[in-house]
Structure 1
Amino acid sequence: MTFNRQRALFVTLGVAFVLTATEGLCRLAIRLSRPILAEEIRTTSDIFHEQSDKIQLLLDSTHTYRVVLDSILGWRYRPGYRDSADAINSQGLRSPREYEPEPPARVLRVAAFGDSFVYGNEVADSASWPALVEQLFPRIEVLNYGVGGYGVDQAYLRFCAEGVALSPRIVIIGFVSDDLGRVVNVYRRFISNREVPLVKPRFSLDAGGRLVLLPNPLPHASDYERYLRVPQDVVELGAHDYWYRPAVYRNPAYDYSATVRLFTELWLRISARYFAPDRLFRDGAINPSSTAFRIQQPAPARSSCSSRTGNQSSPHSRGARRPSPRSRASSTAVKSSTSISLLPFARRRAPRPSGS
């Protein structure tokens, strides 16, 4: 009997030692992985604490940040914003000058919609590619509607709301491969837990493969305040978000065990890259069967701007004069003399599953 007790004690101590050692090694591995992994492994309590801090900054009316909330698009750049490198005019475009409803005589007006590659993050106004085109070709005028972090869906919705107001002859929607993941995203911090807590609309596909708009779920600044009171409620935004991970946000053991965190993250990342049927990339290329690709692939037979978006216009588009009834009626095809192009930009880095 004594021998059995000693044996049981020995086994218990051995298991405890192994579990403790494993936990310690996993904590060390997580710490050492921080400079290596594109997405740091963090506890949800840490994620939610930072989320609350960033929401407070976002709602702080005493600061004039470049980014402001938009009830339709999720966010946009503040009209009239100025700093040493950036100028946003009253129409919400990147430019130190205002634009007339019609271009000057014998000038070709182009409207460029898209993300930070269109906007020209990290360079001055004069060094953005729309400005460089104007410098190289004096009879071409490029209106810069780019906004950092936008997906093709937001660029398209902004085009629907503002695309004809300034009478462009050509409309360009620029995109990079990161934008593929954004069209299936609602809450930016589900893509990366270091992101600003911004929320966006997205499109889904119905049973017939038709686009269905899922509007911005937080159209008012006051809607964000609820997540200051109960940060965990943000998981409700995951209902239509490809990047939402219940194994992280719904797992009680995730915060308390480094072992659980490490192995959960490893499995989720490996699965997202190699096994998930709906993964964005497959065999080093874009997965054509993914929901994200099917949402934004060209489909001429699909419905118009008005039927996809409810013909909503952004409240911040007041800076540009509203189009005439004739122009509004042609907002889908823009005008018979206007052409729309998709312009892919070269990436600065290799694709990764977590997006950016």
Structure 2
Amino acid sequence: MTYKNFLEKAKTILDIIKDSKKEFYNQYYIYDNELGWDIKKNSKHNSLPYNSDAYGNRKINNFKSSKKNKIVIIGDSMVHGDEVGDNETWGFFLSKKLKKTNLINLGVSGYGNDQAYLRFKRFLKKTKVKIAIFCFNSGNELRNINIQRLFLNNKGQFVYLKPRFINKGNKIKLIKIPKNKEKDYYLFLKSKKVKEHLKKYDFFYPNFFKNILKKILKTLSYSFSYNHYLLLSRNNALNITFRIFILFISLCKKNKIIPIILFLPKLSGNFKSEKNLIYLKEKLEEKKINTFYPRDIFFNNEGKVIKKYFCDKNHYSKNGGKVLAETIYNYIRKKNFFNI
């Protein structure tokens, strides 16, 4: 993809959004000037079986008394529950297991760990939480060094810029989205300010060298993945991801929340490589941080992936969600965090 191709693709997507607004079609994913995009409150997706509650979170349909303790699950489409209905997500099945506890699904499709963390931080300003489960799956580390999603996935539909963190000495610094003073988002994307911002901070900003490198790697590898594309930037991406985890842990401690890092298995597609995931898991365990990676439940006795546990685009199916929820519930009970 060239920068010109990106702008053409962006205009097409934005025109579709404009037309749908004119026809009064409901918007499930909406623009957010801090997070890039978010879920609209009390919304129903036009073509997919997704509904949101009064707070802009995926509907759980199993809310107990507001006085009950709360568990939140945080992450991207693997948490949101893409490809299945509201009552078929692993979050819903986990909520049914929690007899004395409310579960809130903070997952948003397409999110990086940076956006997921910032959304959780915003959520805590209004709501008290007992346990926070921060989820990671392979490929998230790439989103954490990306700002314009179309650079990373030119077949996607998320056109809005996102924030990201960069390494700054021994810490990480938040790079916010440039201020948008344009009523037309396409004019904002076309601006020199945005182009310079992307060129400076988006690892996947298209240039001649990267386009050639991508073509070569695809030619050499039948199992091409963007993990190959990282090459010498792998350590940077993993370091930023690890530091986002540390920010999450610190935020939880400050608010007296029990933190868990849940590694979600992704066993097919471009991001099925576990190398980066295992590295992050081991690094967190060195810090004595609660981590959980329920990988084995998705394999049969012959060591083969149980296909019925996954949907066409590699999200968890209803069957997979049930098994995952049961496993997470047993983990929480075994740890005896509190009476759930």
TM-score interval, smaller chain? 0.5 to 0.7
Aligned counterpart, 1:8: none
Encode CA deviations 1:290-334: one digit per residue, 9 max, x unaligned.
Answer: 1111012158986998xxxxxxxxxxxxxxxxxxxxxxxxx6535
Structure 1 partner of 2:12: 53
Equivalent AA in structure 1 for residue 91 of structure 2: P
Q: 2:269 & 2:153 partners in 1: Cα distance?
A: 17
Alpha carbons of 1:200 and 1:98: their partners in 2 closer, same or farther (altered >3 Å)? farther
**Are 1:103 and 2:66 matched, yes or no?**
yes
Q: Does 1:182 align with 2:181?
A: no
Aligned equivalent of 2:326: none
CA separation in 2, counterparts of 1:161 and 1:178? 24
Q: Structure 1's 159 and 44: CA in aligned 2 closer, same or farther, altered over 3 A?
A: closer
For residues 272 and 181 of structure 1, do their structure 2 counterparts lie closer, same or farther at Cα, with a shift above 3 Å needed?
closer
Query: Is 1:276 matched up with 2:231?
Result: yes
Q: CA deviation at 1:49?
A: 2.3
CA distance in 1, matches of 2:163, 2:230: 27
Equivalent residue in structure 2 for 1:333, among 253, 262, 267: 253
**Of residues 196, 199, 203 in structure 2, which corresponds to 1:242?**
203
Whether the aligned pair in 2 keeps the contact of 1:108 and 1:140 (CA below 8 Å) is yes
Deviation per residue, 1:266-313 (Å, 9 max, x gap): 2365797278311x3xxxxxxxxx1111012158986998xxxxxxxx
Instruction: Select between 82-91 and 65-74 the one with higher mean Cα deviation.
Output: 82-91
Find out whether 1:346 has 2:273 as its counterpart. Answer: no
- For residues 43-81 of structure 1, give each alpha carbon's deviation from its aligned partner in whole angstroms, at most 9, with x where no partner exists: 665543222111223345324221100011110011110
Amino acid at match of 1:103: S
Cα 1:272–1:234, aligned 2, differ >3 Å: closer, same or farther? Answer: farther
* Partner residue, 1:266: 215
Deviation at 1:201, TM superposition (A): 0.2
- The aligned counterpart of 2:102 is 141
| Corresponding letter in the other structure for 2:17 | L
TM-score, normalised by the number of residues in structure 1: 0.63
Change (3 A) 1:95 1:352: closer
> More deviation in 154-163 or 216-225?
216-225
Root-mean-square deviation (CA), in Å?
3.5
Deviations 1:84-124 (A, max 9, x none): 72221121111166979x833xx431011110111100111
d(CA) in 2 for partners of 1:177, 1:223:
34
Whole-angstrom distance in 2 between the partners of 1:147 and 1:82? 14
Higher-Rg member (1/2): 1
In the TM superposition, residue 225 of structure 1 has moved relative to its aligned partner by 3.0
In 1, Cα distance between equivalents of 2:18 and 2:116: 24
Report the counterpart of residue 67 of structure 1 in structure 2: 29
SS of corresponding position for 1:277: helix
Q: Partner of 2:58 in structure 1?
A: 94
Name the residue aligned to 1:124: 85
Gap runs ≥5 in structure 2: 221-225, 273-312, 314-340
Q: How does 1:277-356 map to 2 (within 5 A)?
A: 277-278=232-233, 280=234, 290-297=235-242, 333-336=253-256, 338-352=257-271
Distance, in Å, in 1 between the alignment partners of 2:3 and 2:76 is 29
Superposed CA deviations along residues 1-23 of structure 1, whole A, max 9, x for unmatched, are: xxxxxxxxxxxxxxxxxxxxxxx
Q: For the residues of structure 1 that align with 2:93 and 2:86, how far apart are their CA atoms?
A: 9
Q: Residues 324-355 of structure 1, C-alpha deviation per residue, up to 9 Å, x if partnerless?
A: xxxxxxx653532x2121111000415459xx
- Kindly provide the CA deviation profile for residues 170-190 of structure 1, in whole angstroms up to 9, marking residues without a partner as x: 011112111110110110011
